Amino acid sequence: MPGPFAYFIWFVGILCEAAVLVCAVKKHAFRRYFVLNLYMAGLMVSEIGRYKFLTEYGFTSVEYRYFYYYSDAILTIFLYFALSSLYAHVFREMNAEKYVRFGTLLLLAGTALFTYAVVEQSTAKLVTHFVVELSQNLYFVGLVLTYVLWAAILKLRETRARLVQLVLSMGVYFSLFAANYALRNLYPSLSSVFVPLISVFGTFLPLAWAYAFWRLPEEARLVPARLAVIPR
């Protein structure tokens, strides 16, 4: 069973997810960043659902595990689409939304096929194994895509401060999860250390988005080239 600290982080996470939606509505950013807000709403609903499954069936129950992993995979796909919506924002002036949508679906299908090819060998619980692997692979694909988007922002001299912060926070979030998954694969015996970190890392994105919606007006501008680690 999760300890008091895990419950505390869980509660903080749900509170922050609600804060993102409230901030987005109050600052009139809900429709502009609709997919991001949809993901945040989905995340909040899934967190509440997980809590319900935990209290009803218990931490070690099959029901809780299935709900946890399947909802996680669906949310990762949602987050992937949220990332593609940020691509659409950056490339809107180039009228490249159609290509972005097509590319997103193609890459998602490619990742799913690759994952299937990897897990095909496992005889038992093929679908469950596939769902867990797909989620992990999408985190890494998301990380690479965020990096490409950040490079595009620097190249295109995108100056919208809020958009820049949303992209960078997503980059931090994807990197944290991808590193965590990689460490868990490298050291399976230390899973008890790395698994609880997921909920701690999980609070970063809602906090960062709430900050971006609340503090930065849509008109705020900055020079992204000055933010790069290696000055351009």
Partner 1 sequence: MMAGIIFVCSVVFLLQFFVSYCRSLIAASIKHPLSAEVQDVTGIKSAATGEDFDRVVQLLQLCPDRPEDRSGMQAIGAYFGLLGFVRGTLARLVPSLRAWTETERGQCTYFAAVTLERRIAFSRDMFAQQLES
Q: Closer to partner 1 at the Cβ: 16 or 100?
A: 16
Looking at the chain, list the stretches that DSSP marks H as alpha helix, in order from N- to C-terminal side. Answer: 4-26, 34-57, 62-90, 97-119, 126-156, 161-186, 191-202, 204-215
Closest approach of Cβ 139 to partner 1, in Å?
Answer: 9
CB-CB contact of 166 with 212 (8 Å) = yes
200 binds partner 1 (CB under 8 A): no
Letters for 42-71 (x = contact with partner 1 by CB under 8 A, - = none) are ------------------------------
Out of 16, 40, 86, 100, name the contact with partner 1 by CB under 8 A: 16
Structure tokens at 80: 């992937």
181 forms beta bridges with: none
Q: Closer to partner 1 at the Cβ: 44 or 54?
A: 44
| Separation between Cα atoms, residue 191 and residue 197, nearest integer Å | 10
Out of 100, 134, 176, 202, name the contact with partner 1 by CB under 8 A: 176
Closest approach of Cβ 95 to partner 1, in Å?
Answer: 27
147 binds partner 1 (CB under 8 A): yes
Out of 172, 197, 198, 200, name the contact with partner 1 by CB under 8 A: 172
Q: Which long-range contacts (CB under 8 A, 24 or more apart) does 75-80 make?
A: 75/39, 75/42, 75/43, 75/46, 76/134, 76/135, 76/138, 76/139, 76/142, 77/108, 77/138, 78/35, 78/38, 78/39, 78/42, 79/39, 79/138, 79/142, 79/170, 80/104, 80/108, 80/138, 80/141, 80/142
Q: Which stretch binds partner 1 (CB under 8 A): 41-49, 68-76, 192-200, 213-221?
A: 213-221
Look-up: residue for tokens 């499954």? 53
Closest approach of Cβ 5 to partner 1, in Å?
Answer: 17
Q: Which residues bind partner 1 (CB under 8 A)?
A: 15-16, 19, 23, 140, 143, 146-147, 150, 161, 164-165, 168-169, 171-172, 174-176, 178-179, 181-183, 185-186, 204, 207-208, 210-211, 213-216, 220, 222-224, 226-229
